[in-house]
């Protein structure tokens, strides 16, 4: 074989592999990063936390900066889908935490994975069917271990159990949550796991290559006093 022809074939094959990988990465890779809302707490910076004087019962709204992420594990990596339109109400009772309530509505028809073709597919009738069911709704039933002596900047953990409705199907779920309060805002991060089959869907292997059955849900919420909304 002509030496120049051989070099050209090798270079051409390398270029083809690069193009194929870039194409695969665009259509199947992860393009969305999960953004934290909890900043390093003041205890870690050496400053003394200051007590807060919250009302015994206070009402809060989910701020427009809040997001919820759906995270799917594939044979290649984790793929994050971001829902950037979240609304909801929280009523927090310090004296009787069991009376606290939380709700959230997440717009699924704006899910964004950074890949429009993949987004159209996952929103289609075979999966989330956002044309018929554009929203997911969560309503809490219990909020456990919410602290009664909060301090500004102090990290705290609690559990939140309730009903999640997707595609008209409701299931009991539990979130492990943590949060901080700074500047009259509550920053919350959480995690729970559901499965595609829980809500009448099959694992979308054709979309994400080989895909796990489980979906992680990670809310990143900012709560503001209801009077400010």
Over range 200-223, report the average pLDDT: 82
- CA 74, chain centre distance (Å): 17
Domains in the chain: how many in total?
Answer: 1
Query: Residue 167: which CATH number?
Result: 2.40.128.110
Domain-embedded: residue 217: yes
**Residue 149 has what pLDDT?**
75
pLDDT-above-70 percentage for the chain? 76
Backbone angles phi, psi at 36, to 5 degrees: -75, 155
**In terms of C-beta density within 10 A (0-12 exposed, 13-18 middle, 19 or more buried), how is residue 143 classed?**
buried
Q: Which two tokens stand for residue 221?
A: 């919420």
- The structure's pTM equals 0.81
| CA-wise closest residue to 161 among 147, 144, 178 | 144
Is 11 inside a domain boundary? no
Cα–Cα dist 67/72, whole Å: 16
Is residue 21 assigned to a domain? no
Residue 18 falls inside a structural domain = no
pLDDT (mean) for 23-30: 53
157 within domain boundaries: yes
What is residue 134's predicted lDDT score, i.e. its pLDDT? Answer: 98
Residues whose CB falls within 8 Å of the CB of residue 93, separated by 6 or more in sequence, listed in order: 56, 57, 99, 100
Q: Is residue 133 domain-resident?
A: yes
**Quick one: DSSP state of residue 51?**
B
Whether residue 41 has pLDDT greater than 60? no
pLDDT band, very low/low/confident/very high, at 151 (cuts 50, 70, 90): confident
Longest dimension (CA), the chain: 85
Alpha carbon distance 199, 109 (integer Å): 16
Whether the pLDDT of residue 186 is over 90: the answer is: yes
Is 219 among the domain residues? yes
Residue 84: exposed, middle, or buried by beta-carbon count in 10 A (0-12, 13-18, 19+)?
middle
Average pLDDT on 160-187 reads 95
Query: What mean pLDDT is reported for the chain?
Result: 82
Tell me the C-alpha distance between 81 and 30, whole Å: 9
pLDDT at residue number 50: 55
Average pLDDT over residues 32-39: 91
Range of the domain at 93: 31-228
Quick: pLDDT tens for 46-59: 455 555 555 566 89
What whole-number distance in Å separates Cα of residue 155 and Cα of residue 152? 9
Beta strand pairing call for 57-62 and 89-93: antiparallel
The reply to whether 3 falls in a domain is: no
């Amino acid at each position: 074989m002509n030496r120049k022809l051989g070099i050209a074939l090798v270079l051409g094959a390398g270029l083809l592999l690069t193009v194929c990988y870039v194409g695969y990465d665009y259509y199947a890779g992860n393009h969305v990063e999960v953004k934290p809302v909890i900043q390093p707490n003041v205890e870690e910076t050496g400053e003394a936390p200051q007590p807060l004087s919250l009302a015994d019962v206070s009402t809060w709204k989910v701020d427009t900066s809040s997001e919820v992420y759906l995270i799917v594990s594939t044979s290649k990596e984790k793929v994050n889908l971001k829902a950037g339109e979240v609304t909801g109400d929280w009523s927090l009772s310090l004296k009787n935490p069991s009376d606290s309530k939380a709700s959230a509505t997440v717009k699924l028809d704006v899910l964004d994975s950074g890949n429009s073709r993949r987004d159209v597919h996952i929103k289609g009738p075979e999966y989330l069917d956002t044309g018929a069911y554009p929203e997911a709704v969560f309503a809490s039933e219990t909020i456990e271990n919410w602290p009664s002596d909060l301090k500004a900047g102090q990290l705290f953990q609690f559990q939140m159990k309730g009903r999640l409705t997707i595609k008209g199907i409701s299931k009991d779920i539990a979130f492990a949550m943590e949060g901080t309060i700074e500047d009259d805002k509550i920053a919350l991060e959480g995690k729970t796991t559901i499965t595609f089959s829980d809500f009448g869907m099959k694992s979308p292997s054709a979309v994400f290559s080989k895909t796990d059955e489980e979906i992680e849900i990670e809310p990143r919420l900012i709560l503001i006093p209801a009077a400010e909304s």
